[in-house]
Each structure stands twice: as structure tokens, then as C-alpha cells.
């Protein structure tokens, strides 16, 4: 039992690495399917805008609310902006955005590709001489690399605005003090960390969704299993990748 599980796990890792190699080669070599790329930009970027904005808004608001009353114990309520800014830029903005995108986009990619696999559309494309990976995987990967960082910036901005509303309205801290604290507590390294993470996390989310979708088997029930697996695997991968990226960036930037 354990031997079979190890073998299947190693096979999945091997297939995932092979997919990464094919995808990397296809990104830099023609042909390019521009129509599919634009569709994926719209699906991943514009389609995820609402959930990312709401997540950022309420995350920033509750973070300011909790931080304000905690800092009151030390007479440092005016420093709430410093705590919120650092937390949103370095950690909560990139990670929560990636988790929201993985739940919405990762599952969608796995379901779409899984449906194509079980209905043998992928086999038909290959029989016609079309590189299925280049047409179906590369557009999503490019969209993930571009749109997840863009969504992260929006999430951070909205989160800081939500924290500002709570800080001014609930905690009674002056607006100028809040924004001074936010920008005074941020360093260039923090901004770099907040911008580098989404590129890696977006790549991880899309490639895992594509891998799980292309490995679908078992008909319509298999599509459902693949959708669940894609969400779980990409969410765990986001948290694990965030930890290792953070350690690497702290070692190189600070």
C-alpha cells in the first residue's frame, strides 16, 4: 500500500516537472495563441477582481480593528498603520489573493481541462497535430504570471483603504497619522517581497490546476475529483511556497 502510494506520488511529480518543461519551452517559442491568451487574462484577471477586492477590503478592516485594540495596551494606537501596512504588503496581500485565485481559477482550469480529457478533445487535438499544452496551458500560465501580481497590488491598496476607514472612523486616529505610519513603516525590501511573491504563486496555481486537469480520468466523477484536488493542492502549495520564498527573500534582501 505504501509502496504504491510512493510510486504514484513520484509519477505525479515526474509528470508535473515534465509539464513545467514543456510549458517553459512553449512560452518562448512560436506559435502563440493570442486569442486564448487574451481570454485567460480576462478570466483570471477581470473575473477574479470582485472576490479579490472584497477579500482585501475586509482583511484590512479587521486587521486594523484587531491591531488597534491590541496596541491600546501599549499606548501605541497611532502605530496601527505601520502594522497594517507591513502585514498587507509583505504577507496577507499576496497570500490571500493567491488563495482566492486558487479557489476560483485553479478549480475552473482543472474542471475545464478535465472535461476535455474525459471527452477525448485533447486526444483529437493531438491527432490533428496541435500542441494541446501550448494552446491550453501556456495562455493560463501567462495570465497567472501577469494578473496575479496585478490583483495583489489591487488587494493591498483596497486593504489599506479599508484599514484607513476603520482607523479613522472606529479608532479615532487622524487620517494623516495613519498614512504617515503606513509609509513610514514600509521599506523598499518590503515592497520587493510583496511584488515578487505573486509571480511565483500565480505560476504555481495555474500549473497545478493544468496538471491536475490533464491527469483526469474516470469520466464525470473524475472531473469532480480533479476539481477538488486542484483547489486543495494549489492552496497547500501556495502556503508552502510562501514560506520558502519568504525565507529566501529575507536571506537575500535583508
pLDDT at 105: 87
Split into its structural domains, the chain has a count of: 1
For the chain, what is the mean pLDDT?
87
Whether residue 162 is predicted with pLDDT greater than 90 in this model: the reply is yes
pLDDT tens digits along 82-133: 889 989 999 999 999 999 999 888 888 888 888 888 887 877 777 776 777 7
Report the percentage of the chain scoring pLDDT > 70: 100
Res. 59 pLDDT band, cuts 50 70 90 = very high
Task: Specify if 131 maps to a domain.
Answer: yes
Task: Specify if 28 maps to a domain.
Answer: no
Inter-helix orientation angle 188-214/138-169, to 10°: 130
Task: Specify if 1 maps to a domain.
Answer: no
pLDDT at 127: 75
Report the percentage of the chain scoring pLDDT > 90: 33
Task: Specify if 3 maps to a domain.
Answer: no
Residue 71, domain extent = 35-253
CA dist list (Å): 122 to 117, 134, 135, 145, 192: 6, 12, 11, 24, 40
Q: DSSP secondary structure string, 140-174?
A: HHHHHHHHHHHHHHHHHHHHHHHHHHHHHHTS---
pTM above 0.85, yes or no: yes
- Measured between alpha carbons, how far is 137 from 22 in angstroms, rounded to an integer? 10
Amino acid at each position: 500500500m505504501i509502496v504504491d502510494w510512493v510510486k504514484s506520488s513520484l509519477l505525479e511529480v515526474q509528470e508535473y516537472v515534465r509539464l513545467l518543461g514543456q510549458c517553459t519551452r512553449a512560452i518562448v517559442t512560436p506559435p502563440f495563441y493570442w486569442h486564448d491568451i487574451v481570454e485567460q487574462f480576462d478570466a483570471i484577471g477581470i473575473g477574479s477582481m470582485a472576490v479579490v477586492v472584497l477579500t482585501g477590503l475586509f482583511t484590512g478592516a479587521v486587521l486594523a480593528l484587531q491591531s488597534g485594540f491590541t496596541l491600546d495596551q501599549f499606548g501605541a494606537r497611532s502605530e496601527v498603520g505601520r502594522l497594517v501596512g507591513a502585514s498587507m504588503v509583505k504577507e496577507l496581500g499576496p497570500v490571500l489573493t493567491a488563495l482566492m485565485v486558487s479557489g476560483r481559477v485553479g478549480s475552473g482550469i482543472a474542471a475545464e481541462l478535465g472535461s476535455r480529457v474525459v471527452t477525448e478533445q485533447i486526444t483529437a487535438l493531438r491527432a490533428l497535430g496541435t500542441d494541446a499544452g501550448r494552446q491550453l496551458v501556456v495562455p493560463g500560465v501567462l495570465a497567472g504570471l501577469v494578473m496575479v501580481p496585478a490583483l495583489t497590488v489591487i488587494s493591498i491598496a483596497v486593504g489599506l483603504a479599508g484599514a484607513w476607514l476603520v482607523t479613522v472612523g472606529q479608532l479615532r486616529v487622524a487620517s494623516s497619522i495613519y498614512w504617515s505610519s503606513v509609509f513610514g513603516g514600509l521599506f523598499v525590501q518590503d515592497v520587493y517581497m510583496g511584488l515578487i511573491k505573486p509571480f511565483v504563486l500565480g505560476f504555481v496555481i495555474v500549473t497545478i490546476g493544468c496538471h491536475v486537469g490533464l491527469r483526469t480520468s474516470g469520466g464525470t466523477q473524475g472531473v469532480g475529483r480533479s476539481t477538488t484536488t486542484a483547489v486543495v493542492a494549489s492552496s497547500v502549495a501556495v502556503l508552502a511556497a510562501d514560506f520558502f520564498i519568504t525565507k529566501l527573500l529575507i536571506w537575500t534582501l535583508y
